[in-house]
Structure 1
Amino acid sequence: MADTTAGKLSLPILTAMVVGSMVGAGIFNLPGRFATATGPFGAIIAWTIAGTGMYMLARVFQALAERRPDIDSGVFAYAKAGFGDYMGFLSAFGYWLGSCLGNVFYWVLIGSTLGRFFPEIFGDGSSALAIIVSLAGVWSFHFMILRGVEQATFVNTVVTIAKIVPLIVAIIAFIIFFNYDQFAENFFGGVGMPEKTLLAQVRDTMLITVFVFLGIEGASVYSRFAKKRSDVGAATILGFVAVTGLMVAVTLLPYATAPRAYIAGVPNPSLAGALELVVGHWGAVFISIGVLISVLGAYLAWSLICAEVLFAAAKSQDMPKLFAAQNGNRVPANALWLTNIVVSLFIVSTYWSRDAFNFMLNMTSVTSLLPYLLVAGYGVLLARSGRGYETTPNERGRDQIFAWIAVVYTIFMFLAAGLKYVLLVAVLYVPSTVLYIWARREQNARLFTPVELIVFAVTALAGGIGLVGLATGTIMP
């Protein structure tokens, strides 16, 4: 009898894949970003909120994968199934745009990492030379991918090691040099930092927590590779707990090494600066090398993901069919061209940003929220309808509660982001209507239902307000 488990993944390997997909570049900036916002007490509350919300969102993705296995076009397909064509389009565009902005963040992180060693020419990652180097990198990867070069297994292995090993070394060093008195001094805010309410402190950490959890939806992708179906849920939980543990440790332990104001003031990537305060300059060099290897490897993967999102949306008729075209190497070439043109424009725009690093991080987080909100909303609708629950009706109530908590969490994230970032995202959404109209006319389909017309009008109004704010200087990137 044939072995049906041959080539399948065991629970430990499945868990490692989940961890690898979730740990990204944002974790290397947690110490500085949190120290700027709050002390350990606020950080614990923030991670409790973020961990609960993202876990619920992970459970929604898991439930949708099980109840609607026929939907496999991507995150945006859930929005389309639940809320119609235009919301599906907005979700697809938002997910693609967030991926593009994430790629811009990678290059700003590379520039700011090099800026630690060559501050005069690279600065914070948005200097003229940093932008030139970033653009050269974007288009080098572009033409490499067009030739059909994808991430090989050994590249994935190197990248995973480059991400995890420096984090483990840093955590061990922070534990060895843990100073309880310093931690206690920083616990409720520390000295030399501006006074803020606890709510304001927690709110200021929310977007970085969203950013570092991006990719949590990838956990359900591995379900078809599992030896046992039950391993998928176990791997999701184990991977989530492991990654959350890493992020909480990287956030909290530096508070025991120096006054909060010192940690808040270290340059990006702040984990390098925080470790340097403990072990000296070699710590910063060690983390920086890990960051560069990790980010370059991850950028290759996310360049492909950006193009694949446009490609999948075009295949499902949510984007113009132009983007469904592939070249001779089976690479979605037109989608890749548009992606890297947009990434390049955003990279150039960082020259005028006051804080390109955190601005791109925040924008990436906010653009991901609409797709996540629509997925959570569809989770509620599906559980209420009972579709897919014919054999397990007792799970409907549980899944509906999970989905409602995920909805509340993502709405809270929008509020925490602040009006500025919501308006700026709306500015980017408005031109996307051209792509939507293009796709609808290709199908000779109705443009908007009455409800969709209202959604479009609200989006256009918010985009107009954002554009006026940018022109008058009341909104600064």
Structure 2
Amino acid sequence: MASDSNPHFSVWTLMAMVVGSMVGAGIFSLPQAFGRVTGPFGALIAWSIAGTGMLMLAFVFQTLSRRKPELDAGIYAYAKAGFGNYLGFLSALGYWSAACLGNVSYFVLIKSTLGLFFPVFGDGNTIIAIVCSSTLLWLFHTLILRGVRGAAAVNTIVTFAKIIPIILFIALVAWGFHADIFAANFWGGEDISVSNVASQVRATMLVTVFVFVGIEGASVYSRYARNRNDVGVATLVGFLGVLCLLALVTILSYGAMLRTDLAGLRNPSMAGVLESVVGPWGAIFVSVGLLISVLGAYLSWVLLAAEILFSASRYETMPRFLSHENRNDVPSNALWLTNIIVQTFLILTLFTQYAFRLALELTSSMILIPYLLVAAYGLKLAWSGETYDRDPSGHRKDLICAGIALIYTVGLIYAAGAKHLLLSAVIYGPGSILFIVARREGGKTVFTPSEWVMFATASLGAAIAIYSITTSLISI
């Protein structure tokens, strides 16, 4: 548990962590990402499915924060409590990797945005872009080392600042909405069939996951909450507000430009949409809003990434050195490891043609296992009746919500496809070395028989993925 010297977050600060984590790079790329694969009809179905599934997951987080208040490390703690040490570790590793990859996407999008005005930055993956991104990375690193309290306060301010440009975008595009363009885009293509629409919706799933990543922000920071009930409230209210913003940005854009034109926009595609409505100043306006938004989201995510490593280390699932805190109560070793990995991924973007899209898809893929395990633990808790003997209220509701959340997360894994699962294994397999080190430090048996099977599967998947990449069977 947090010591008395730790900061205590209000419900507003926790809500800002949720909104700040979710509203980042993804929302600014939605018009192009959706326009590339579907029309308004498919988008409405996609947001309905994603909204329902993620709402159920938000309810699961809310329920678990209330019924298991002693599990104060969020995603990692739920997976470990429900399914053992190794799956708990994989949840922590997957979540942390998603945070690192998400931060890479933020830096790429920042430089891609600047590339609209300064061609030297290109699409965010030129040498100059990487150098500038690296400078920002280590400036933020220094800020956070000065104290989580100060960084969280900055995040709260930035969260409110970045919502304003998005709301103005929605208002201006609604004002310039053309019903005839929207109608021409409606079906997303000439083939109006169930199979075609289903294919369109499936193609949007990883995008919707990416923009919802961060829904667990308050849960991860539950050890800092003044009141544990605030965690559930912050998660639910933050989610519903962000869902409205995401859906409006997507759907209204179809009334501003033809779908083929949306698909051809460079990111941040919201800039191109607003420019078509109000003129060149619209692109500048969105670009400034994006820079504020993404810098704030990066701050949220690097805090979350370091926190998950620190929490896992406290429970002896990550190596001990990651539990070190500096004099400002910041998990400094976890922060160093996080930013070293982000720096490595930034360098690797030099060799990837579609750096932002790849980072987006891999972030979504890595978060799927942690979300699946949270939903499964929520279902397990409700099914077994644990904690419901002393407080039976909401038992049936919790069971239904967890069941729907589990079905949704399984469907997401199916939608991701074999390629992204194999790429995820590249991290899960070799990353398990951290678990082995932690178990040996504690003098404990490394794997149970079932965990050996899981480790072997992850290692085999990693080997197949690496072979497929080197032989060009998988392109990145």
TM over 0.5: yes
SS at match of 1:247: helix
Contact 1:223/1:232, CA 8 A, preserved across alignment: no
Which residue does 2:3 correspond to in 1? none
CA distance in 2, matches of 1:28, 1:471: 33
Does residue 92 of structure 1 match 2:92?
yes
Pairing of 1:157-168 with structure 2 (within 5 A) = 157-168=156-167
8 A Cα contact 1:190 1:259, kept in partner: no
Residue in 2 that maps onto 1:290:
289
Q: Distance in 1 between matches of 2:231 and 2:430?
A: 39
Measured after TM superposition, the shift of residue 8 of structure 1 is 9.5
SS in 1 for 2:208: helix
Distance in 2, matches of 1:438 and 1:106, equals 31
1:474 & 1:187 partners in 2: Cα distance?
35
Please say if 1:173 is aligned against 2:177.
Answer: no
Aligned residue number for residue 4 of structure 1 = none
Partner of 1:307: 306
| 2:299 is the counterpart of 1:279 | no
| Equivalent residue number for residue 3 of structure 1 | none
Q: Is the 8 A contact 2:21 2:301 kept in 1?
A: no
Q: How is 1:417-436 mapped onto 2 (pairs within 5 angstroms)?
A: 417-436=416-435
Change (3 A) 1:112 1:191: farther
CA 44–149 in structure 1, closer or farther in 2 if over 3 Å, else same? closer
Structure 1 residues 153 and 73: CA distance shift in structure 2, 3 A: closer
Q: Supply the distance in 2 between the matched residues of 1:265 and 1:196 (Cα, whole angstroms).
A: 24
C-alpha contact (below 8 Å) 1:192/1:261 kept by paired residues: no
1:112 Cα shift? 0.8
* 1:116 aligns to 2:116 (yes or no): yes
Q: Could you tell me how far apart the structure 1 residues matched to 2:156 and 2:88 are?
A: 35
Aligned counterpart, 2:315? 316
1:346 aligns with 2:336: no
Aligned match of 1:464: 463
Partner of 1:473: 472
Deviations 1:79-109 (A, max 9, x none): 1111111111111111111111111111011
Q: Who is 1:29 aligned against?
A: 29
Other-structure match for 1:210: 209
Distance in 1 (CA, whole Å) between partners of 2:173 and 2:375 is 37
CA gap 1:349/1:18 in 2 versus in 1, 3 angstroms: closer
Residue pairs, 1:401-440, within 5 angstroms: 401-440=400-439
How many Å separate the matches in 2 of 1:422 and 1:110? 28
Q: How far 1:239 sits from its partner (Å)?
A: 3.4
Structure 1 residue 238: Cα displacement: 4.0
For each residue in 1:104-149, what CA deviation from the matched residue of structure 2 results, as whole angstroms up to 9, or x when unmatched? 1110111111111122x11111111111111122122223333447
TM-score (normalised: structure 2) = 0.92
1:376-399 CA deviation, whole Å, 9 max, x = no partner?
Answer: 111111112211112333532321
Q: Deviations over 1:311-344 (max 9, x none)?
A: 1111110101011112333322221221111111
Alpha-carbon deviations, 1:237-272, whole Å to 9, x = none?
Answer: 443332211111100101111111111111111111
Spell out, residue by residue over 1:403-438, the C-alpha distance to the aligned partner (whole angstroms, 9 max, x if none): 111111111111111211110110111111211111
Instruction: Identify the residue that residue 250 of structure 2 maps to in structure 1.
Output: 251
1:233-244 residue pairs with structure 2 within 5 A? 236-244=235-243
* Contact 1:51–1:244 (Cα < 8 Å) also in 2: yes
Secondary structure in structure 2 of the residue aligned to 1:38: coil
Equivalent residue letter for 2:29:
N
Partner of 1:69: 69
Change over 3 Å in CA distance of 1:49–1:70 after alignment to 2 = same
Distance 1:69 1:422, change over 3 A: same
Question: What is the identity, as a one-letter code, of the residue corresponding to 2:263?
Answer: A
Query: Are the equivalent residues in 1 in contact too, given 2:16–2:156 (CA < 8 A)?
Result: no
Q: Equivalent residue for 1:43?
A: 43
- Unpaired runs of 5+ in structure 2? 1-7
User: In structure 2, what is the Cα distance between the partners aligned to 1:296 and 1:272?
Assistant: 17
Corresponding letter in the other structure for 1:115: G
| Contact 2:39/2:189 (<8 A) preserved | yes
Q: Tell me the SS of whatever aligns to 1:256.
A: coil
Identify if the C-alpha distance between structure 1 residues 228 and 388 changes in structure 2 by more than 3 Å, giving closer, same or farther: closer
The residue that corresponds to 2:269 in the other structure is 270
User: Matched residues in 1 for 2:469 and 2:244: separation?
Assistant: 39
Equivalent-residue separation in structure 2 for 1:216 and 1:46 (angstroms): 18
Measured against aligned partners, the alpha-carbon deviations of 1:175-227 in whole angstroms (never above 9, x if no partner) come to 1111111100000015799x982122111111111111111123556798688
Specify whether residues 237 and 144 from structure 1 end up closer, same or farther in structure 2 by C-alpha distance, changes over 3 A only: closer
The 1-side partners of 2:429 and 2:295 are apart by: 31
CA contact (8 A) 1:226 1:232 kept: no
- 2:4 maps to none
Deviations, residues 330-367 of structure 1 (Å, cap 9, x unaligned): 32222122111111111111111121111101111111
Looking at structure 2, the residues matched to 100 and 449 of structure 1 have their Cα atoms a distance apart, in angstroms, of 29
Deviation at 1:21, TM superposition (A): 4.7
The separation in 2 between residues aligned to 1:130 and 1:61, in whole angstroms, is: 38
Q: Structure 2 CA distance, aligned partners of 1:254 and 1:394?
A: 43
- What is aligned with 1:80? 80
Post-superposition shift, 1:472? 0.2
Q: Retained in 1: the 8 A contact 2:24–2:106?
A: no
In the alignment, what sits opposite 2:334? 335
Q: Which amino acid aligns with 2:97?
A: L
Change (3 A) 1:126 1:214: same
- Give the conservation status (yes or no) of the 8 Å contact 1:77–1:88: yes
Say whether the 8 Å CA contact 1:67–1:387 is kept in structure 2.
Answer: no
Partners of 1:433 and 1:14 in 2: how far apart? 31
TM-score normalised by L of structure 1: 0.92
CA RMSD of aligned residues (A): 2.6
- Secondary structure at the residue paired with 1:330? coil
User: What SS does the aligned partner of 2:353 have?
Assistant: coil
CA distance in 1, matches of 2:248, 2:128: 35
CA distance, structure 2, for counterparts of residue 13 and residue 437 of structure 1: 36
Counterpart of 2:260? 261
Question: What amino acid maps onto 2:196 in structure 1?
Answer: T
